Amino acid sequence: MDTQTQGDGLRFLKMHGAGNDFVVIDSRGRGAVTTPALARALGDRHRGVGFDQLAEIGDGQQGAHFSLDFWNNDGTRAGACGNATRCVSDYVMRDLGLEAVSLVTARGALSAVRLADGRVSVNIGPPQRIWDQVPLARDVNLMHLPLPGDPVAVGMGNPHCVLFVADAETVELQTLGPRYEHDPLFPQRTNVEFASLTAPNRLRMRVWERGTGITLACGSGACATAVAAHLRGMTGRQVTLDLDGGVLQVDWRDDGVWMTGPVAYVFEGVLSPAFLAAHA
């Protein structure tokens, strides 16, 4: 992708990982351009481009190859996005001619590697398992939150509320997702995952993402769900998760939680000067 502006327009890339879709803006060498208004406009699937998250690439920091910022389609910031991190890491690896890269996000220093089969693995760091790091509004038992359904709270750079159910397929995400997202126990709102055990070390997971709604996949949510399942004694540390958009694999290692999955390039485009001016 030619990363510079074209005339007064702005180039972007559309990607997805297991159906979790992103607009990617490469701002290396020129400074960030995304604003809440632009994120909201771009996130509109009728009047903009549409995405679950927007990922903006910045110059490297702390010796990393690049930095990365995330936005939800309601114009709010997202602290982490595992699938976008994988997708953008693949793009940067191809751009730099590398098979592994380091990056910095609000989560901290991360790393990613391309596997021989073309999938990309990213280490999104250790889970946050202290109440004010998730964060929660007060000190409660993270393994058994005082909420309906006995959920688990896990931080993965963003808050997650994980519920284990008999059959994830039957959960009314549109109704239940917003209730947990906006519960006062989560001062920064939360992502909400519903998961059921379908085989040894295999989970069916569906997700409601804060600031976005129902998505086909959520990388950080898959990591949080795998961590919660292991802590509850349901699985080992290596877990396969079947999401609406595809399959992700999570491996909770000593150095952090690694998440592996596919990367897809969809198209490139140019935002018009009129669109940018209307949503500055």
pLDDT tens digits, residue range 105-132?
Answer: 998 999 999 999 999 999 999 999 999 9
Handedness of CA 74, 78, 84, 88 (dihedral sign): positive
* Whether residue 55 sits in one domain with residue 156: no
Distance CA 177, CA 189 (A): 11
Is 135 inside any structural domain?
A: no
pLDDT (average), residues 191-216: 97
- What's the mean per-residue pLDDT of the chain? 95
pLDDT at residue 7 greater than cutoff 90: no
Q: Strand locations in 115-165, DSSP E?
A: 120-123, 152-155, 159-164
pLDDT (average), residues 62-74: 95
Is pTM, for the whole model, over 0.85?
yes
Is 144 inside any structural domain?
A: no
pLDDT at residue 102 greater than cutoff 60: yes
Is 5 inside any structural domain?
A: no
Whole-number pLDDT of residue 174? 97
Is 129 inside any structural domain?
A: no
Is 139 inside any structural domain?
A: no
Closest-CA residue to 204 (of 174, 173, 178, 159): 173
First to last CA, the chain: 23
pLDDT (average), residues 173-185: 98
HSE-up (13 A, CA, CB side) for residue 139: 0
Indicate the pLDDT class of residue 37, thresholds 50, 70 and 90. Answer: very high
* Whether residue 174 sits in one domain with residue 228: yes
* Whether residue 160 sits in one domain with residue 97: no
Whole-number pLDDT of residue 61? 85
Whole-number pLDDT of residue 280? 82
Is 183 inside any structural domain?
A: yes
Span 154-164, pLDDT tens digits: 999 999 999 99
Span 82-91, pLDDT tens digits: 999 999 999 9
Is 146 inside any structural domain?
A: no
CATH number of the domain to which 100 belongs: 3.10.310.10
The parent domain of residue 236 ranges over 152-254
Among the options 81, 87, 161, 223, which is catalytic? 81
* Whether residue 104 sits in one domain with residue 58: yes
Catalytic annotation on 87? Answer: no
* Whether residue 173 sits in one domain with residue 192: yes
pLDDT at residue 1 greater than cutoff 70: no
* Whether residue 95 sits in one domain with residue 28: yes
pLDDT at residue 267 greater than cutoff 80: yes
* Whether residue 33 sits in one domain with residue 112: yes
Give ∠ CA 250-251-253 in degrees, rounded to 5.
150
* Whether residue 157 sits in one domain with residue 116: no
* Whether residue 87 sits in one domain with residue 33: yes
* Whether residue 269 sits in one domain with residue 223: no
Span 220-232, pLDDT tens digits: 999 999 999 999 9
User: Do residues 103 and 66 lie in contact, with contact meaning Cβ atoms separated by under 8 Å?
Assistant: yes
pLDDT at residue 3 greater than cutoff 50: no
HSE-up (13 A, CA, CB side) for residue 93: 22
* Whether residue 156 sits in one domain with residue 94: no
In the chain, the number of structural domains is: 2
* Whether residue 113 sits in one domain with residue 31: yes
Is 75 inside any structural domain?
A: yes
